[in-house]
Amino acid sequence: MTIKERYRRAMEWFQTAIPEAETELHYKSPFQLLVAVILSAQCTDKRVNMVTPPLFEAYPTAEAMSTASLDDIYSYIKSVSYPNNKAKSLLGAAKMLVEEYNGEVPSDIDSLMRLPGVGRKTANVMLSVVWNKAAMAVDTHVFRVSERIGLTTGSKTPLQTEKELCRYIPEELIPRAHHWLILHGRYVCKARRPDCLNCGLTQVCRYYMQESKKG
């Protein structure tokens, strides 16, 4: 099977199996999504969604959060991973948004990555979810699933995976493909043990084919 054929068949299956794929984070504005994505680093979306309602009630906008104290922000997010660092990032990002972007979240990757706590993955999430741009955010699920299925081969870094995926996935599908791979990794192609019996991609999956030969 050629790499193009593997991509084509995988994308066709995802379009049929998960036609409406979107983030599982809860938010009502670009700023709130930015906060949620920063909080989600090395933390589950479920935990983030438990923390953000009271946080957003207290600080619904960048302007509101920019006036908060670190201790105040920390008190709302203390149950997520790395709360001290994330509190600093949230306060710093809110202040920069107010001082340099009129309180609005910018829509280009370079400006986004200037914000405290925002790396390439977070910036790409914002671009794809809010503005539907062809940006591929590579988290641990996307990185693992892409390599297992065979969409990437020997990828060493998230950036390498990102470039490979964007090379073969049709541009208009990239925003959804990010969520397809995340959801597949979260619920089917899990880190410790992939649930191959309940996977619709076994016909194109390199890992499954290799395991079948062993059996």
- Interval 19-33: pLDDT, tens: 988 899 999 999 999
Active site residues: 121, 139
Query: Which of 103, 131, 159 is the C-terminal boundary of a domain?
Result: 131
Annotated binding-site ranges: 189, 196, 199, 205
pLDDT tens sequence across 122-160: 999 999 999 999 999 999 999 999 999 999 999 999 999
The pTM (predicted TM-score) of the whole model is 0.90
162 and 100 share one domain: no
109 and 39 share one domain: yes
Query: Which of 85, 105, 131 is the C-terminal boundary of a domain?
Result: 131
E strand segments, 66-199: none
Range of the domain at 146: 3-21+136-214
Q: Which residues contact 64 (CB under 8 A, 6 or more apart)?
A: 58
Q: Which residues contact 133 (CB under 8 A, 6 or more apart)?
A: 107, 127, 175
Annotated binding-site ranges for [4Fe-4S] cluster: 189, 196, 199, 205
Angle at 39 between CA 34 and CA 42, to 5 degrees: 125
122 and 142 share one domain: no
Distance CA 65, CA 206 (A): 47
Distance CA 63, CA 152 (A): 42
